[in-house]
Amino acid sequence: MTITALESINDDVLNAFKNLIPQLSSSSSLPSKKDLETIINSNNTKLFVAEEGNNIIGTLTLVFNKIPTGEKAWIEDVVVSESARGKGVGKRLTQFALDYALEKGISKIDLTSSPERFAANKLYQKLGFQKRATNVYRYFSNK
């Protein structure tokens, strides 16, 4: 298995996301080629993929924020293909993202995970993430 940052978007990448995103969220729309190109061309995001052979079996997005209280990174949209779960793909992707952020001098790295994702939550704790005493809010626009 190899983990890399995506540098271009082709049909294989689009098909992989078409397969992976519904496994993460049934209510999210699929990213277009333009959406993925915007992500990989941004200075504030890195889109990592785990590949086995020529197949993308997992993905993770690392988002960088420069704010008045310092630089932070946020791990988003971690998803591993159902066929590859239990093989350490999520662990390798997350550790890769952590190492990347630490190399950039960022020491505060956040993520959220739904409580019902027991294996993911256990993994994040094993990797050193600590549960924070905070509330997470989301605003949904009616527009």
Digit-coded pLDDT (tens) for 63-80: 999 999 999 999 999 999
* Tokens read off for 87: 């093989």
133 forms beta bridges with none
Domains and CATH numbers, the chain: 2-126 (3.40.630.30)
pTM, 2 dp: 0.91
Average pLDDT of the segment spanning 54-69: 95
- Smallest CA-to-CA distance from 71 within 43, 90, 96, 49 is with 43
Average pLDDT of the segment spanning 86-111: 96
Q: How far apart are CA 87 and CA 68, in angstroms?
A: 39
- State the average pLDDT for the chain: 94
